[in-house]
Amino acid sequence: MFKLPIFQLTVELTIGFFALFAVTKFTRKSQINQITPFDFISAIVLGELLGNAIYDEKVRIWSVIYALVLWGTLMVIIEKITQKFRKTRKLLEGEPAIIIRNGQIDFEVIKKEKLDINELLSLLRQKDAFSIREIEFAILEQSGNISVLKKSKYETPVAEDLNLPYKPVYLPITLILDGEILKDNLQAIGFDETWLFNQISMFGMKNKEDVFYADWKQNEGIHVVPRNNSIT
Protein backbone atom coordinates (compact mmCIF):
# COMPACT_ATOMS: atom_id res chain seq x y z
CA MET A 1 0.00 0.00 0.00
CA PHE A 2 1.14 3.56 -0.69
CA LYS A 3 2.07 5.55 2.40
CA LEU A 4 1.15 8.80 0.65
CA PRO A 5 -2.51 9.80 0.34
CA ILE A 6 -3.94 9.10 -3.09
CA PHE A 7 -4.65 12.76 -3.79
CA GLN A 8 -1.11 13.85 -2.83
CA LEU A 9 0.41 11.04 -4.87
CA THR A 10 -1.72 12.02 -7.88
CA VAL A 11 -0.67 15.65 -7.63
CA GLU A 12 3.04 14.81 -7.27
CA LEU A 13 2.95 12.33 -10.15
CA THR A 14 1.18 14.82 -12.41
CA ILE A 15 3.52 17.69 -11.57
CA GLY A 16 6.56 15.43 -11.81
CA PHE A 17 5.41 14.01 -15.14
CA PHE A 18 5.08 17.39 -16.80
CA ALA A 19 8.27 18.70 -15.18
CA LEU A 20 10.26 15.72 -16.43
CA PHE A 21 8.63 15.97 -19.85
CA ALA A 22 9.53 19.66 -20.09
CA VAL A 23 13.16 19.04 -19.15
CA THR A 24 13.63 16.11 -21.53
CA LYS A 25 11.81 17.97 -24.31
CA PHE A 26 14.09 20.95 -23.84
CA THR A 27 17.36 19.04 -23.61
CA ARG A 28 16.84 15.92 -25.72
CA LYS A 29 18.60 15.07 -28.98
CA SER A 30 16.59 15.09 -32.18
CA GLN A 31 17.24 11.38 -32.69
CA ILE A 32 17.73 8.56 -30.22
CA ASN A 33 20.98 7.46 -31.87
CA GLN A 34 22.50 10.85 -31.04
CA ILE A 35 22.45 10.04 -27.33
CA THR A 36 25.91 9.85 -25.80
CA PRO A 37 26.78 7.91 -22.62
CA PHE A 38 26.58 11.20 -20.69
CA ASP A 39 23.05 11.82 -22.00
CA PHE A 40 22.04 8.30 -20.98
CA ILE A 41 23.33 8.77 -17.44
CA SER A 42 21.63 12.16 -17.24
CA ALA A 43 18.30 10.58 -18.16
CA ILE A 44 18.72 8.02 -15.37
CA VAL A 45 19.50 10.80 -12.87
CA LEU A 46 16.39 12.74 -13.91
CA GLY A 47 14.21 9.68 -13.42
CA GLU A 48 15.81 8.98 -10.03
CA LEU A 49 15.17 12.55 -8.87
CA LEU A 50 11.50 12.24 -9.74
CA GLY A 51 11.24 8.82 -8.12
CA ASN A 52 12.65 10.18 -4.87
CA ALA A 53 9.98 12.85 -4.76
CA ILE A 54 7.15 10.38 -5.27
CA TYR A 55 8.16 7.61 -2.88
CA ASP A 56 10.06 9.48 -0.18
CA GLU A 57 7.77 11.50 2.09
CA LYS A 58 10.69 13.59 3.35
CA VAL A 59 11.45 14.89 -0.15
CA ARG A 60 9.08 17.57 -1.37
CA ILE A 61 8.05 17.72 -4.99
CA TRP A 62 9.05 21.38 -5.27
CA SER A 63 12.57 20.56 -4.17
CA VAL A 64 12.79 17.91 -6.87
CA ILE A 65 11.36 20.24 -9.52
CA TYR A 66 14.13 22.67 -8.63
CA ALA A 67 16.65 19.83 -8.95
CA LEU A 68 15.18 18.84 -12.32
CA VAL A 69 15.35 22.41 -13.60
CA LEU A 70 18.91 22.86 -12.32
CA TRP A 71 20.06 19.55 -13.83
CA GLY A 72 18.37 20.38 -17.14
CA THR A 73 19.97 23.84 -17.14
CA LEU A 74 23.41 22.31 -16.59
CA MET A 75 22.80 19.92 -19.50
CA VAL A 76 21.86 22.82 -21.75
CA ILE A 77 24.94 24.77 -20.65
CA ILE A 78 27.16 21.81 -21.53
CA GLU A 79 25.43 21.57 -24.92
CA LYS A 80 26.00 25.27 -25.59
CA ILE A 81 29.65 25.02 -24.56
CA THR A 82 30.29 22.15 -26.98
CA GLN A 83 28.55 24.05 -29.76
CA LYS A 84 30.50 27.25 -29.22
CA PHE A 85 33.92 25.90 -28.25
CA ARG A 86 35.06 23.16 -30.59
CA LYS A 87 38.02 22.08 -28.44
CA THR A 88 35.71 21.09 -25.58
CA ARG A 89 33.85 18.49 -27.66
CA LYS A 90 36.49 15.82 -27.30
CA LEU A 91 36.42 16.09 -23.50
CA LEU A 92 32.66 16.49 -23.03
CA GLU A 93 31.25 14.40 -25.88
CA GLY A 94 34.10 12.18 -27.02
CA GLU A 95 35.13 11.79 -30.64
CA PRO A 96 34.70 9.25 -33.43
CA ALA A 97 37.31 6.50 -33.66
CA ILE A 98 38.43 4.86 -36.91
CA ILE A 99 38.54 1.14 -36.11
CA ILE A 100 39.06 -0.09 -39.69
CA ARG A 101 41.30 1.95 -41.97
CA ASN A 102 42.04 1.03 -45.59
CA GLY A 103 40.59 -2.42 -44.98
CA GLN A 104 42.82 -3.12 -41.95
CA ILE A 105 41.72 -3.34 -38.32
CA ASP A 106 43.41 -0.78 -36.09
CA PHE A 107 44.12 -3.00 -33.09
CA GLU A 108 45.27 -0.13 -30.91
CA VAL A 109 41.97 1.67 -31.42
CA ILE A 110 39.73 -1.32 -30.69
CA LYS A 111 41.81 -1.98 -27.58
CA LYS A 112 41.38 1.63 -26.49
CA GLU A 113 37.64 1.51 -27.18
CA LYS A 114 37.38 -1.85 -25.34
CA LEU A 115 35.82 -3.65 -28.30
CA ASP A 116 36.20 -7.37 -28.84
CA ILE A 117 35.84 -9.19 -32.15
CA ASN A 118 32.28 -10.35 -31.39
CA GLU A 119 31.10 -6.81 -30.72
CA LEU A 120 32.82 -5.55 -33.85
CA LEU A 121 31.21 -8.21 -36.05
CA SER A 122 27.79 -7.51 -34.50
CA LEU A 123 28.13 -3.80 -35.26
CA LEU A 124 29.16 -4.56 -38.85
CA ARG A 125 26.21 -6.92 -39.37
CA GLN A 126 23.89 -4.12 -38.32
CA LYS A 127 25.26 -2.23 -41.32
CA ASP A 128 24.65 -5.19 -43.69
CA ALA A 129 28.33 -6.08 -43.71
CA PHE A 130 28.85 -9.77 -42.96
CA SER A 131 32.61 -9.83 -43.26
CA ILE A 132 35.51 -7.56 -42.39
CA ARG A 133 36.76 -8.04 -45.94
CA GLU A 134 33.89 -5.88 -47.20
CA ILE A 135 34.94 -2.80 -45.23
CA GLU A 136 37.29 -0.06 -46.36
CA PHE A 137 36.63 2.25 -43.41
CA ALA A 138 34.64 1.80 -40.19
CA ILE A 139 34.14 4.56 -37.64
CA LEU A 140 32.88 4.08 -34.10
CA GLU A 141 30.69 7.07 -33.28
CA GLN A 142 30.32 8.73 -29.87
CA SER A 143 26.87 7.16 -29.48
CA GLY A 144 28.32 3.65 -29.84
CA ASN A 145 26.95 3.16 -33.34
CA ILE A 146 29.22 2.37 -36.25
CA SER A 147 29.47 4.00 -39.67
CA VAL A 148 30.98 2.02 -42.54
CA LEU A 149 32.29 2.69 -45.99
CA LYS A 150 32.36 -0.50 -48.01
CA LYS A 151 34.91 -1.36 -50.64
CA SER A 152 33.66 -0.49 -54.11
CA LYS A 153 33.26 -4.14 -55.14
CA TYR A 154 30.77 -4.67 -52.31
CA GLU A 155 28.64 -1.60 -52.96
CA THR A 156 25.25 -2.85 -54.15
CA PRO A 157 24.41 0.13 -56.43
CA VAL A 158 27.53 -0.53 -58.51
CA ALA A 159 26.24 -3.87 -59.72
CA GLU A 160 22.80 -2.44 -60.38
CA ASP A 161 24.10 0.55 -62.30
CA LEU A 162 26.16 -1.71 -64.56
CA ASN A 163 23.20 -4.04 -65.16
CA LEU A 164 25.30 -7.04 -64.24
CA PRO A 165 23.65 -10.47 -64.38
CA TYR A 166 22.39 -11.94 -61.14
CA LYS A 167 24.96 -13.80 -59.08
CA PRO A 168 24.24 -16.02 -56.09
CA VAL A 169 24.92 -14.54 -52.66
CA TYR A 170 26.99 -16.50 -50.15
CA LEU A 171 27.15 -15.91 -46.41
CA PRO A 172 30.67 -15.71 -44.95
CA ILE A 173 31.30 -18.50 -42.44
CA THR A 174 33.46 -17.65 -39.43
CA LEU A 175 36.14 -20.30 -38.92
CA ILE A 176 38.47 -18.80 -36.32
CA LEU A 177 37.43 -16.28 -33.69
CA ASP A 178 40.04 -14.80 -31.38
CA GLY A 179 42.37 -17.78 -31.79
CA GLU A 180 39.67 -20.45 -31.39
CA ILE A 181 38.51 -22.74 -34.20
CA LEU A 182 34.74 -22.97 -34.65
CA LYS A 183 34.59 -26.66 -35.42
CA ASP A 184 30.87 -26.78 -36.17
CA ASN A 185 31.25 -24.10 -38.84
CA LEU A 186 34.28 -25.87 -40.28
CA GLN A 187 32.39 -29.16 -40.55
CA ALA A 188 29.36 -27.40 -42.05
CA ILE A 189 31.37 -26.30 -45.08
CA GLY A 190 32.91 -29.77 -45.50
CA PHE A 191 36.50 -29.09 -44.44
CA ASP A 192 38.68 -30.28 -41.58
CA GLU A 193 41.37 -28.72 -39.40
CA THR A 194 44.16 -30.00 -41.66
CA TRP A 195 42.72 -27.98 -44.53
CA LEU A 196 42.31 -24.95 -42.27
CA PHE A 197 45.92 -25.06 -41.05
CA ASN A 198 47.10 -25.36 -44.64
CA GLN A 199 45.09 -22.27 -45.51
CA ILE A 200 46.35 -20.09 -42.66
CA SER A 201 49.92 -21.21 -43.32
CA MET A 202 49.62 -19.51 -46.70
CA PHE A 203 49.24 -16.27 -44.75
CA GLY A 204 52.38 -16.96 -42.72
CA MET A 205 50.66 -18.28 -39.60
CA LYS A 206 51.51 -21.64 -38.08
CA ASN A 207 49.12 -21.82 -35.13
CA LYS A 208 45.47 -20.99 -34.62
CA GLU A 209 46.51 -18.63 -31.81
CA ASP A 210 48.19 -16.46 -34.44
CA VAL A 211 44.81 -15.77 -36.04
CA PHE A 212 42.55 -13.04 -34.70
CA TYR A 213 39.74 -13.72 -37.16
CA ALA A 214 39.20 -15.89 -40.21
CA ASP A 215 36.16 -16.53 -42.37
CA TRP A 216 35.39 -18.44 -45.54
CA LYS A 217 33.17 -17.45 -48.43
CA GLN A 218 32.26 -19.93 -51.14
CA ASN A 219 33.03 -17.70 -54.09
CA GLU A 220 36.08 -15.98 -52.58
CA GLY A 221 37.80 -18.47 -50.31
CA ILE A 222 39.34 -17.74 -46.94
CA HIS A 223 40.03 -14.34 -45.39
CA VAL A 224 42.46 -14.12 -42.46
CA VAL A 225 43.21 -11.33 -40.01
CA PRO A 226 46.44 -11.96 -38.04
CA ARG A 227 46.54 -11.38 -34.31
CA ASN A 228 48.30 -8.33 -33.02
CA ASN A 229 50.51 -9.36 -30.10
CA SER A 230 49.49 -6.28 -28.12
CA ILE A 231 45.89 -7.47 -28.00
CA THR A 232 45.06 -9.69 -25.03
pLDDT-derived band at 1 (thresholds 50, 70, 90) equals very low
- Residue 203 within any structural domain of the chain: yes
Determine, yes or no, domain membership for 229.
Answer: yes
**Structurally, how many domains does the chain consist of?**
3
Over residues 157-166, the pLDDT tens digits come to 656 666 767 7
Domain match, 60 and 123 both: no
Highest mean pLDDT pick, 27-41, 130-144, 157-171, 217-231: 130-144
Domain holding 184, by residue range, is 171-232
The whole-model pTM stands at 0.56
Q: Closest Cα to residue 36, out of 90, 105, 74, 84? A: 90
CATH number of the domain within which 227 lies: 3.30.240.20
Q: pLDDT tier at 155 (50, 70, 90 boundaries)?
A: confident
Kindly report, residue by residue over 111-132, the tens digit of the pLDDT: 888 888 898 899 899 888 888 9
Q: Determine the distance from the C-alpha atom of residue 19 to the mean position of all C-alpha atoms in its chain, rounded to a whole number.
A: 31
Is 116 in the same domain as 154?
Answer: yes
pLDDT at 12: 65
